[in-house]
Amino acid sequence: MKNALFRLFPASFRQSLIRRALRIRPIDDPEIQFKIATTTEELETAYRLLHDCYAGVGLMDPHFSGLRCTVYSALPYTTTIIAKKGSQVIGTVSLIKDSPLGFPSDKEYRKENDDYRREGRQIAEVSALAVHAEFRKDHRISLYLMKYLNWYALHYMGCDMFCIVVHPRARDFYAGLFGFVQNGKTVKYGFVKGALAAHMTLDLKAARERIMPELYAGAPAERDLNEFIYRGESPFVYPNRGLGCVLDPVMTPSMLTYFFVRRTQLFKTLSPAELSLIRSSYNLNFDLSGVPYLGQAEDDRRQFRYPMKLRVALITEGRGLIGRIRDISAGGLFFEGERPLPVGGKCEVLFRLGEQQFRLPAVVRWVSSGERAGPPGCGMEFLVKDVRLTEMLRFIHHNVEIIAEPNLATA
């Protein structure tokens, strides 16, 4: 009855009440830290916590493995973030960067996601949030996970927009506290056993520069989520990487076998196209012949392209075009810019990756006008192979480390 009466108030009033009820308390337990999951043990405990939480509220049927793994878990586009107290995982959330497989939400909300893709937005879907029952009541673990997600998405994954799919009961929470907005209709969401769901998005830069400051203008310190999210110190560790890369792949052949063959048998259920995509994601780095199902999958004719955040210049007929590399492989890249060359057009591509300078001849194989899903630009094939580039891409995959939190107030 109390919830029913609450719903009778206008949304803006309900969301204001949620902000007023917020109390932010620091985590002063030195055993608690937030990081990306990089080991078999960390991933397994995160997948188990997620399984128990989802099965406990009817969002999935219990699985014989006691783990919740999906095809997205196997891809390097997905980062699993965890909260740990000592060796125990007490919270987890996944951040899925857009890829050829798309998002879990694409099945019901493809149009809404494609509208943002056409704008050139770098989207990440927030998924698989779970917090241990002992730590749910005061929302501290959830709030710290959201803080980690914001910084990681903007500064490590190169994303500028979150999309989430939540139960309609949670809309006011995400809209009121963070400024998420709903897109499309409420649907029955197959990814979580047909539960009611709403699609919501948040422009991360607008949230930092305008939305959050306006929501919390004049709020006392214990309710100032804007101050908490974007400033202040936290028990965080982040990946130690450079080179313009925006992924943190942690899977190895043994981990792929353990989670998706031995424990869950997920690979047995995937389509040939899904297996081919997963194989192409790791082929440059690993021999997958010993991984059941992946070892027998056909090679994807497309090389895996590493999402990047790099400036690039195209030199053709004495003129230059400046843009950015959206993704790159040893065989080519996608040039994102307003004036792409025509199909068949040749040029030299200039960019810097780490300490290496590259100047490679290339040809345009396809052009995107931005009218379909994706930004304007062109897909380019390198006309020569540079072993330095191949080694750089291998280095990216094999060097995921962690560092202490940077200074949020000055970064």
Strand, helix or coil for residue 81: strand
CB atoms within 10 A of CB 134: 10
Cβ–Cβ < 8 Å for 125, 103? yes
Between CA 267 and CA 292 the distance in angstroms is 8
Chain centroid offset of residue 259 CA: 20
Tokens of 232: 């202040």
Cβ–Cβ < 8 Å for 177, 19? yes
CB atoms within 10 A of CB 409: 9
Residue 307: phi and psi, rounded to 5, are -60, 140
Between CA 35 and CA 404 the distance in angstroms is 10
The pLDDT value given to residue 301: 60
Tokens of 333: 């890249």
CB atoms within 10 A of CB 120: 15
| Class of domain 2-248 (CATH, top level) | alpha beta
The pLDDT value given to residue 285: 82
pTM: 0.88
Residue 303: phi and psi, rounded to 5, are -75, 150
Q: Is the CA virtual torsion 214, 146, 240, 232 positive or negative?
A: positive
The pLDDT value given to residue 4: 59
Please, where are the H alpha helices in 311-384? none
Compute the CA torsion angle 353, 358, 361, 362 (nearest 10 deg).
Answer: 0
Domain range summary for the chain, segments of one domain joined by +: 2-248, 306-398
With 0-12 / 13-18 / 19 or more C-beta atoms within 10 angstroms meaning exposed / middle / buried, residue 128 is: buried
* pLDDT tens digit at each of 411 positions of the chain: 456 566 667 888 899 999 999 999 999 899 999 999 999 999 999 999 999 999 998 889 999 999 999 999 999 999 999 999 999 999 999 999 998 899 999 999 999 999 998 888 999 999 999 999 999 887 899 999 999 999 999 888 989 999 999 999 899 999 999 999 999 899 888 877 788 899 999 999 999 999 999 999 999 999 999 999 998 778 898 887 666 778 888 899 999 999 999 999 999 999 998 999 999 888 888 889 999 999 888 876 666 788 887 899 999 887 888 998 988 988 999 998 877 788 999 999 999 887 889 999 999 998 887 665 667 889 999 999 999 998 888 777 655 544 444 443 333
Tokens of 345: 């057009």
The pLDDT value given to residue 405: 41
Cβ–Cβ < 8 Å for 409, 234? no
Cβ–Cβ < 8 Å for 69, 283? no
Between CA 335 and CA 314 the distance in angstroms is 9
Strand, helix or coil for residue 310: strand
Cβ–Cβ < 8 Å for 336, 326? yes
In whole angstroms, how large is the CA radius of gyration of the chain? Answer: 22
Q: Which CATH number fits domain 306-398: 2.40.10.220, 3.30.1360.70, 3.40.50.2020, 2.40.50.320?
A: 2.40.10.220
Between CA 276 and CA 293 the distance in angstroms is 10
Q: Is the CA virtual torsion 168, 172, 174, 180 positive or negative?
A: positive
The pLDDT value given to residue 5: 60
Between CA 154 and CA 61 the distance in angstroms is 34
Let me know the angle formed at the C-alpha of 230 by 46 and 95, rounded to the nearest 5 degrees.
Answer: 30
Nearest to 81 by CA among 43, 24, 30: 43
Task: Report CA-CA distances (Å) from 191 to 60, 71, 165, 371.
Answer: 9, 12, 10, 28
